[in-house]
């Protein structure tokens, strides 16, 4: 089974500063990778997903961007953070289980971002 790492675990950044959140996956190859944001008291918002190296689909236009430089590495970035970027950022991976044949998503531990 796969293991998903996210860092940092928590981050406090001033408005206008850059951002880089990293997600790496072990134990699987050619996964689909996802970035979600969970704002306080709200559900999950899909930000980006990637089906392969260099392939990024953006779900919500905003000041964030994503990149996938390697098969099992997914990076979320911003050049200038806004107050509204505060939230809990979750990376997820789709693992197609050969027995269950399901595109179940598994989540990393998350990064808590506070923009002041």
Partner 1 sequence: GEDVEQSLFLSVREGDSSVINCTYTDSSSTYLYWYKQEPGAGLQLLTYIFSNMDMKQDQRLTVLLNKKDKHLSLRIADTQTGDSAIYFCAESIGGDDKIIFGKGTRLHILP
Whichever of 7 and 15 has its CB closer to partner 1, that residue is 7
Binding region for partner 1 (CB under 8 A): 4, 32, 42-44, 46, 49, 51, 90, 92, 94, 102-110, 112
Give the integer Cα–Cα distance in Å for 61 and 24: 24
Name the minimum Å distance from CB 81 to partner 1.
Answer: 21
Comparing CB distances to partner 1, the nearer of 4 and 19 is 4
Q: DSSP readout, 2-42?
A: -EEEEE-SEEEE-TT--EEEEEEEES-SS-EEEEEEE-TT-
Q: Which is nearer to partner 1, 8 or 16 (CB)?
A: 8
CA–CA distance, 18 with 71 (Å, rounded to integer): 24
Q: How far is the CB of 30 from partner 1 (least distance, A)?
A: 12
């Amino acid at each position: 089974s796969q293991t998903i790492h996210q860092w940092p675990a928590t981050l406090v950044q001033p408005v206008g500063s850059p951002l880089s959140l990293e997600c790496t996956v072990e134990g699987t190859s050619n996964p689909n990778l996802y970035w979600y944001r969970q704002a306080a008291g709200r559900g999950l918002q899909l930000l980006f997903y990637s089906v392969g190296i260099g392939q990024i689909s953006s779900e919500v236009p905003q000041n964030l961007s994503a990149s996938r430089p390697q098969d099992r590495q997914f990076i979320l970035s911003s050049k200038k953070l806004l107050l509204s970027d505060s939230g809990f950022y979750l990376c997820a991976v789709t693992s197609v289980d050969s027995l269950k044949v399901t595109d179940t998503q598994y989540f990393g531990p998350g990064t808590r971002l506070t923009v002041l």
